Amino acid sequence: MITISIKDAVFLVLLVALLVLIIYLIVMVANLIKTLKKANLVIDDVQRMSTIAADKTESVNNKLDKYADKVSNFVGKVKSEGSSINRLYNRKLNRNSAKMDKMNRRRIRRKNRPDKERLTDYTK
């Protein structure tokens, strides 16, 4: 018969546990390597997309600056044209108001002028 001492049995169990632990670590490292490769691919893709987004953002920013300049120039022209149009309109209003003043003065004179009936009444 084979006799195994308790010391040998514990050593054999520890040896098997160590072998299982080494296999587990090898599998874990292999999975970690696969995960790191996928993570590197994702990081490279994100970096590429970030570069594209940054380039497009800069181009849009430049276009917005150009359009903002065009709009501000347009607004400046409209303001200057608007002020000259307002001046012309105000001149026309002033002419019209002068005509209205003249017409109102005529009406007032007519109201204050004695009618023919009044004249006839006073003359009798």
pLDDT of residue 1: 73
pTM of the model: 0.44
**Mean pLDDT over all residues of the chain?**
80
pLDDT of residue 110: 64
- Each residue's pLDDT tens digit, 64-107: 989 888 888 877 776 666 666 666 666 655 665 666 666 666 66
Phi, psi torsion values for 2, nearest 5 degrees: -100, 125
Over residues 3-22, the mean pLDDT reads 94
pLDDT of residue 13: 96
d(CA 45, CA 80): 52
**To 5 degrees, how large is the angle CA 31–CA 33–CA 36?**
110
